[in-house]
Amino acid sequence: MKRIAFLGSLFLLLQASGLAQPHYTLQQCIDTALAKNIGVQQSGLLAEAADVNMKQARANLLPDLNATLDHGINTGRSIDPFTNGYVNQSINYASYGASSGVVLFNGLNLHNQVRQYTLAYDASRMELQQAKDNLTLNVILAYLQVLNNEDLLSSSLAQKTVSDKQLERLTILDKQGAISPSQVTDVKGQLMNDELSILNMRNNLETAKLSLAQLMNVPYDKGMTLERMNADEFLTAYSVSSSDIYQTALQQFSLVKSVELRTKSSEYALKAARSRLFPTVTLGGSMQTNYSSVAQNSTGKIPYNDQIRNNVFYSLNLGVRIPIFNSMRSRNNIRLADIAVRNNELTEENTKLQLRQQIEQAHLNMTNAYDRYKTLLSQVEAYQTSFKAAEARFTAGVGTSVDYVIAKNNLDRANINLIAAKYDFVLRKKILDYYQNAKLVR
């Protein structure tokens, strides 16, 4: 009991100090990657900046309001701000004012900018979602790759166990002189082949763990373990055609939405550039008052408060600014905006073209992977029967070690290929789910 209590305390101590082996579920891997990935964070900052630009474009429709406050002193010959006459003495003066203005019409430039930056913000959000979807898919694929290599390692260890038992039996028979020494060396060679396979599988497993840790942006830990998934649940035929997947992707894929929104945003940017050729109509108004230390009337010096109240004046103005010539700047900006629209249209077309080609290739890879998996499944069943027969003959002493080793190698190789094909098919299905914006984690 004391030993159990000690081990339990040691485990809790290691866990508290961060030295316990990390264990992750698939969702934890995805959440960790999304929280720590720098690329996703940068996409989030770009979306935040686009949000600021959108809000500023909307705020530009509102009137402005400004206040002025001016205090000073004039010495020598200067103009009295109260009488506008020249005086030759020191004058303390003050001026207060407030003004406001609003654009009544400018060819709908401000409204087009609101639409432009709103669509740009929506595109940025889609690009952020696309970055998250890309990372999520990569994490899922890396996670499945780790599980794949774990299964391959387990299969290699099981193969070695069979060789160990057979070698142990043959060693006893060899000491008794019941078999030829070559049968022992044949199985020893097979055992060394199994150990080499185990070494390669261990290296592949650690490489897969490293790739997953790098996607999660966490330090690599050789002791990292993952929650197992039952890959057999996903081993059903994929009934959706590539054309149906493509049509779904056109409606739901974040990358398609983002390029479409970028094109629409550039179209409104073109409209905003054209609107600068129209006159701008503004309405403005102001209020102002002032004070002078030399202001007097028949009763003497006018008090500060009286001057502030009595000197108030208002103004209201309606202005029209007509663009006539500005070094061809407006015309050239229109041409540049039109070029941007055409470039975004080509980007949108190319994105959809590449998407269709990628889906067709992914669907073909999935079909081939499924056919290969079914073929290997039949091959494993056949080789299992052959190996059992060869093992029985070899154990009974009527078969040769060469026949046994060949049968075992065939079965081992088929089992390894079957495991790889199984996970390859699951990976291909996940990629097609990704293009349909389907739920990747179940």
How many CB atoms are located within 10 Å of the residue 21 CB? Answer: 11
Is pLDDT of 123 > 90? yes
More confident position, 47 or 82: 47
The C-alpha atoms of residue 413 and residue 384 are separated, in whole angstroms, by 11
Establish how many alpha carbons lie within 13 A of residue 24's alpha carbon, considering only the half-sphere containing its beta carbon. Answer: 24
Question: Of 3.40.50.720, 1.20.1600.10, 3.40.50.1360, 1.20.900.10, which CATH number belongs to 20-62+107-278+328-435?
Answer: 1.20.1600.10
Provide the residue ranges of all domains of the chain, joining segments of one domain with +: 20-62+107-278+328-435
Nearest to 415 by CA among 379, 441, 386, 369: 379
pLDDT mean over 369-378: 92
**pLDDT confidence of residue 95:** 92
pLDDT mean over 184-197: 83
Largest CA distance in the chain: 143
The C-alpha atoms of residue 354 and residue 400 are separated, in whole angstroms, by 56
Kindly give, in sequence order, each residue whose CB lies less than 8 Å from that of residue 269, ignoring residues fewer than 6 positions away: 112, 113, 116, 337, 340, 341
More confident position, 238 or 113: 113
**pLDDT confidence of residue 342:** 97
pLDDT mean over 45-54: 96
The C-alpha atoms of residue 274 and residue 254 are separated, in whole angstroms, by 30
Nearest to 32 by CA among 22, 42, 18: 22
Residue type, 110: L
Q: How many residues does the chain have?
A: 442
The C-alpha atoms of residue 263 and residue 282 are separated, in whole angstroms, by 31
Nearest to 435 by CA among 283, 243, 281: 243
Is pLDDT of 39 > 70? yes
pLDDT mean over 181-209: 87
Nearest to 137 by CA among 261, 45, 255: 255
**pLDDT confidence of residue 149:** 92
Which residue shows structure tokens 């929650």?
A: 227
**pLDDT confidence of residue 439:** 59
> What pLDDT digit, counting tens, does each position of 413-441 carry?
898 899 999 989 988 988 998 988 765 55
> What pLDDT digit, counting tens, does each position of 264-284 carry?
999 999 999 999 999 999 999
Measured CA to CA in angstroms, residue 152 lies from 199, 201, 205, 365, 429 at distances of 11, 7, 9, 22, 20
Is pLDDT of 375 > 60? yes
β strands within 302-432, DSSP E: 313-321
Is pLDDT of 379 > 50? yes
How many CB atoms are located within 10 Å of the residue 281 CB? Answer: 16
Model pTM score: 0.82
